A and B are shown apart, each in its own frame.
Chain A
Amino acid sequence: MPPLLEMRGITKTFPGVTALAGVTIRIDPGEIHAVVGENGAGKSTLMKILSGVYPHGSYEGTIVFDGAERTIRSIRDSERLGIIIIHQELALIPLLSIAENIFLGNERATAGVIDWRETHARTRDLLARVGLAESPRTLCGRLGMGKQQLVEIAKALAKEVRLLILDEPTSSLNETDSEALLELLLQLKARGIASILISHKLNEVARVADRITVLRDGACVRTLDCRDRTIAEDEIVRDMVGRPLTDRFPPRSATVGEPVLEVRGWTVRHPTQPDRSVVDGVDLTVRRGEVVGIAGLMGAGRTELAMSLFGRSYGRWTAGTMRIGGRPVDAATPRAAIDAGLCYVTEDRKHCGLLPDESIRRNIPLSNLEGIARFLVVDDHRELAVADGFRRRMAIKSPSVEQKTGTLSGGNQQKVVLSRALFADPRVLVLDEPTRGIDVGAKYEIYRIINDLAAAGTGILMISSEMPELLGMCDRIYVMNEGRFVGALPAAEATQEKIMHMIIARNG
């Protein structure tokens, strides 16, 4: 069978970084081909080359599609070939309807006049094909992440897709939505549409992929074929990281002390719907050196709770008290919270965490500029020393601290945001999805950092949608559902089933 696509000897350099060094990859017709690798391995870069984001001539190597060599100069060129990419950050326009988004730039029109009847009819077909029960008129901004992904795929199907590229499609989806998406990929495959799937969730990869290509440091390490045998996750991990990674979670010896964070009766109303309680009477305690988890489904109110504790950055606080280190704290702004010893690391590092056009060195000290200044005057050398210190301690991969954070890979961006919180020297650190979109190796490092912090006496409150992560890291887990804490389990007793049971019991 002749291959659908071959990329040969692709080399791409950025100033100071070789992102890809002679990568060769082959995609067969109708296969699901997974591309995995650590953060910064070059996965996104490779796909941007294939889809014309980086045009022909800005890299070396050749692309053969359908038996002929192609020069792809723009996204239009790749779409004409039937190669469609769905980027990690979705590109739907929130104020347009599903139908308008699907046919954006590809309108069903005669002489410039849109035929709405046909547009809506075809949208209904496409939505049925991706299994989304929504009206074509629904505004995309109203849809959750999972449904938006499906709309993106419907949009691709509308363009006669032959090769679908998905860059970390499930990183911000919950388990049910992820499941639905993977199921859809399998259906598309049955219809002969090939796809390239980039993901850090190796269990998903192992489940749906026909073949897996592992990239490491911009080079292709190995291509594993899953059709003749099942591939163990550990095998993929070994290729990714370059050494066997026996434990997913670093060992932990907790010495738990007195409470550092005590929250009682915390209640928060929705910012625009004042009669809706998003967080309802939450009691929680975190002790010195303890790692406490909050489990729950998307929309349970976990991020809202965390943001509201952190200087009332979400909604309208109506009741509840907070003590840090035994002293009552009334933190009405993030500054007050940070000064009281509470720091928050956002789940949305792109929009709420990074200054993408500023260097690593400018990003890290932002929460504690006093720490690098003398009488309001910034000491450049202190700043450099601090930033470089974190770059080494956190193993941030970059040629220097002068690199702009917008060009770092996801894991390294996360380390920058985490460094910023650490430089403010918190007594309690709230981590919201600290390992989202991060490779196994970097996850392990972040877990290690969390453990070190706990060992040094910091109290850690960790929100995560990955149950194994909570089970592997936490001393105690709260379960949250619809704004309330519906249970608390010590780590020794917690299991995935028990947690799910607590959530469902309440949902009735």
Chain B
Amino acid sequence: MTSVQDSRIPARPRAAAYLGFIHGHLREYSILIALVAIMAFFQVVTDGILLRPINLTNLVLQNSYIIIMALGMLLVVVSGHIDLSVGSVMGFIGALAAVLMVQFGVHFIIAGAICLLTGCLIGAAQGYWIAYFRIPSFIVTLAGMLVFKGLSLALLQGQSLGPFPEGFRLLSSGFVPDIPGVEGFNLLCLLVGAGLAAAMVVMALRGRARDRRHGTADEPVAVFALKHGLIAAAIVYLAWLMAEYRGLPNVLIVMALLIAVYSFVTGRTTIGRRIYAIGGNEKAARLSGIPTERLTFLTFVNMGFLAALAGLVFAARLNTATPKAGLGFELDVIAAVFIGGASMSGGVGTIMGAVVGAFIMGVTNNGMSILGIGIDWQQLIKGLVLLAAVIFDVTNKSRD
């Protein structure tokens, strides 16, 4: 047994180092590669419809609520739980928003705030039993799923309710106003895309420089350059495409901010560390002084908040609240999180993985719809995608 004197990677033949590194990060790359491959596939078989500016914009709008909920679901799953109620809660909040705005004429900002608060309360009510009374989350949220499905039916009395005030609809259907300039091309969108790409490259370079100073940079230069080069190019390209349509949807801004905040919280903060620890071994976490109950409770409050936000986005997009809204969405959200590499037993998973997982589902849905594939086959293929992703994970893990 050799114990290497420090954690730096010793000088090895280059190719071996590359292979070793890629093997160690297989999961991280494979899911991104899978997304790109699926997009390329549908781009070809749909004769380029997939990446048409209007379709791309639609793709983002269509998946925004799934992604928003996937962020919360990731935390729930990482802490070792599951939430089956998110679809129903989302529908219920949509219904509540409609009743407040359409029936009672409450201003949309106040109504929105009431809805978000209600989402938190719903999360708190479920999280309370799960965290402090140790009732399995599967059961509590299964009950919640039924309760809120019933409540939205009752609230809407089985009818659809709409339309929403104009201001509210902007949440989903609005676009960030362009800076005056080129006609028929959204300059702002391209600039934001380019700025974002540049910012990511700069941050990556700075991070790498810091790692080098501490002697912990283990990603081979070529992999590093290729990875960030490709990501930056992809962002600029997608921004370009969207600029050719109507530019930046409001909801994309909301989503991007949320993704940034949640990746930061899970990846870099002590709160994130603690949530992963709870999922990794709850008893050990508690004996390490981590308030496991309070944190579990809060992950459900957070989930309720995000489900409510998703409910508002969805209602604004459809411009009406229906008793069927959100039906079965919990399955897409949960699938996204597991495709993204989270583990059923908790303690494993990343925000980026969940987002990419949601896009894999979204692109597959969208591509199949363009091709005119029936809902029956769509369901089947989505099921197989989920199964394949998890099988890949499990076999990859047992090979280590």
Q: Which of B4, B268, B274, B287 is A346 in contact with, Cβ under 8 Å?
A: B287
| Nearest CB of chain B from residue A67's CB, rounded to whole Å | 33
Chain A residues near B221: list those with CB within 8 A: none
**Does A354 have its Cβ within 8 Å of any Cβ on chain B?**
yes
Nearest A-chain residue to B274, judged by Cβ: A369
- State in angstroms the CA–CA spacing of A376 and B261 once bound together: 13
- State in angstroms the CA–CA spacing of A313 and B285 once bound together: 12
Chain B residues near A357: list those with CB within 8 A: 280, 347-348
**Does B273 have its Cβ within 8 Å of any Cβ on chain A?**
yes
Q: Which of B1-29 contact A (CB under 8 A)?
A: 1-4, 6-7
Evaluate contact between B7 and A401: CB separation under 8 angstroms.
yes
Nearest B-chain residue to A375, judged by Cβ: B269
**Does A373 have its Cβ within 8 Å of any Cβ on chain B?**
yes
The contact string, 1 if C-beta is below 8 Å from chain A, for chain B 264-282, is 0000111111101100110
**Does A505 have its Cβ within 8 Å of any Cβ on chain B?**
no
**Does B284 have its Cβ within 8 Å of any Cβ on chain A?**
yes
Stretch at the interface among A91-99, A222-230, A392-400: A392-400
- State in angstroms the CA–CA spacing of A318 and B164 once bound together: 58
**Does B396 have its Cβ within 8 Å of any Cβ on chain A?**
no
Evaluate contact between B347 and A358: CB separation under 8 angstroms.
yes
Evaluate contact between B276 and A358: CB separation under 8 angstroms.
yes
- Known A15-B400, A356-B281; contact A334-B347, beta-carbon cutoff 8 A: no
Evaluate contact between A400 and B4: CB separation under 8 angstroms.
yes
- State in angstroms the CA–CA spacing of A426 and B216 once bound together: 30
Chain A residues near B274: list those with CB within 8 A: 369
Q: Which of B347-374 contact A (CB under 8 A)?
A: 347-348
The contact string, 1 if C-beta is below 8 Å from chain B, for chain A 197-220, is 000000000000000000001100
**Does A135 have its Cβ within 8 Å of any Cβ on chain B?**
no
Chain B residues near A310: list those with CB within 8 A: 287
Nearest A-chain residue to B283, judged by Cβ: A352
Nearest B-chain residue to A313, judged by Cβ: B287
**Does A384 have its Cβ within 8 Å of any Cβ on chain B?**
yes
- State in angstroms the CA–CA spacing of A393 and B290 once bound together: 26
Q: Which of B197-221 contact A (CB under 8 A)?
A: 210, 214, 216
Q: Which of B272-307 contact A (CB under 8 A)?
A: 272-274, 276-277, 280-281, 283-291
The contact string, 1 if C-beta is below 8 Å from chain A, for chain B 240-282, is 0000000000000000000000000000111111101100110
The bracket for how many chain A residues form the interface is 35 or more
Evaluate contact between A367 and B3: CB separation under 8 angstroms.
no
**Does A447 have its Cβ within 8 Å of any Cβ on chain B?**
no
**Does A191 have its Cβ within 8 Å of any Cβ on chain B?**
no
Chain A residues near B1: list those with CB within 8 A: 17-19, 40, 217-218, 397
- State in angstroms the CA–CA spacing of A11 and B81 once bound together: 41
Evaluate contact between B281 and A373: CB separation under 8 angstroms.
no
The bracket for how many chain B residues form the interface is 20 to 34
Nearest B-chain residue to A361, judged by Cβ: B7
Chain B residues near A402: list those with CB within 8 A: 7
- State in angstroms the CA–CA spacing of A424 and B287 once bound together: 12
- Known A373-B270, A377-B269, A378-B268; contact A351-B283, beta-carbon cutoff 8 A: yes
Number of A-B residue pairs at CB separation under 8 A: 104
- Known A15-B400, A356-B280, A401-B7; contact A373-B288, beta-carbon cutoff 8 A: no
Evaluate contact between A334 and B288: CB separation under 8 angstroms.
yes
Evaluate contact between B291 and A335: CB separation under 8 angstroms.
yes
- State in angstroms the CA–CA spacing of A378 and B210 once bound together: 15
Chain B residues near A346: list those with CB within 8 A: 284, 287
**Does A370 have its Cβ within 8 Å of any Cβ on chain B?**
yes
Nearest B-chain residue to A13, judged by Cβ: B1
Evaluate contact between A355 and B280: CB separation under 8 angstroms.
yes
Chain A residues near B216: list those with CB within 8 A: 380-381, 384
| Nearest CB of chain A from residue B290's CB, rounded to whole Å | 7
Evaluate contact between B214 and A384: CB separation under 8 angstroms.
yes
Q: Which of A339, A369, A388 is B6 in contact with, Cβ under 8 Å?
A: A388
| Nearest CB of chain B from residue A309's CB, rounded to whole Å | 13
The contact string, 1 if C-beta is below 8 Å from chain B, for chain A 14-25, is 011111000000
- State in angstroms the CA–CA spacing of A337 and B287 once bound together: 10
- Known A15-B400, A17-B1, A18-B1; contact A338-B280, beta-carbon cutoff 8 A: no
Chain A residues near B284: list those with CB within 8 A: 346, 351-355, 366
- State in angstroms the CA–CA spacing of A424 and B286 once bound together: 14
Chain B residues near A353: list those with CB within 8 A: 284, 287
**Does A390 have its Cβ within 8 Å of any Cβ on chain B?**
no
**Does A362 have its Cβ within 8 Å of any Cβ on chain B?**
yes
- State in angstroms the CA–CA spacing of A353 and B286 once bound together: 10
Evaluate contact between B347 and A377: CB separation under 8 angstroms.
no
Evaluate contact between B270 and A352: CB separation under 8 angstroms.
no
The contact string, 1 if C-beta is below 8 Å from chain A, for chain B 375-400, is 00000000000000000000000001
Evaluate contact between A369 and B287: CB separation under 8 angstroms.
no
| Nearest CB of chain B from residue A426's CB, rounded to whole Å | 11
Chain B residues near A337: list those with CB within 8 A: 289
Q: Which of A298-355 contact B (CB under 8 A)?
A: 310-311, 313, 333-335, 337-339, 344, 346, 351-355
Evaluate contact between B4 and A399: CB separation under 8 angstroms.
yes
| Nearest CB of chain B from residue A310's CB, rounded to whole Å | 7
| Nearest CB of chain B from residue A492's CB, rounded to whole Å | 34
Q: Which of B41-87 contact A (CB under 8 A)?
A: none
**Does A288 have its Cβ within 8 Å of any Cβ on chain B?**
no
Chain B residues near A355: list those with CB within 8 A: 277, 280-281, 284-285, 347
- State in angstroms the CA–CA spacing of A247 and B281 once bound together: 37
Given contacts A16-B4, A344-B287, A370-B270, 19 further A-B contacts (CB under 8 A): A17-B1, A217-B1, A310-B287, A333-B289, A335-B289, A335-B291, A354-B284, A357-B347, A358-B347, A362-B276, A366-B284, A366-B290, A381-B210, A384-B7, A388-B6, A399-B2, A399-B3, A420-B288, A424-B289
A residues whose Cβ falls under 8 Å from a Cβ of B: 15-19, 40, 217-218, 310-311, 313, 333-335, 337-339, 344, 346, 351-358, 362, 366-367, 369-370, 373, 376-378, 380-381, 384, 388, 397-402, 420, 424
> Top 10 A-B pairs ranked by shortest CB distance?
A355-B280, A400-B7, A369-B270, A335-B289, A366-B288, A338-B289, A367-B288, A352-B283, A334-B289, A381-B214
B residues whose Cβ falls under 8 Å from a Cβ of A: 1-4, 6-7, 210, 214, 216, 268-274, 276-277, 280-281, 283-291, 347-348, 400
Q: List 21 A-B contacts (CB under 8 A).
A: A15-B400, A18-B2, A19-B1, A217-B1, A310-B287, A333-B289, A346-B284, A351-B283, A352-B281, A352-B284, A352-B287, A353-B284, A356-B280, A357-B347, A358-B347, A366-B290, A376-B269, A378-B268, A399-B2, A400-B7, A401-B7
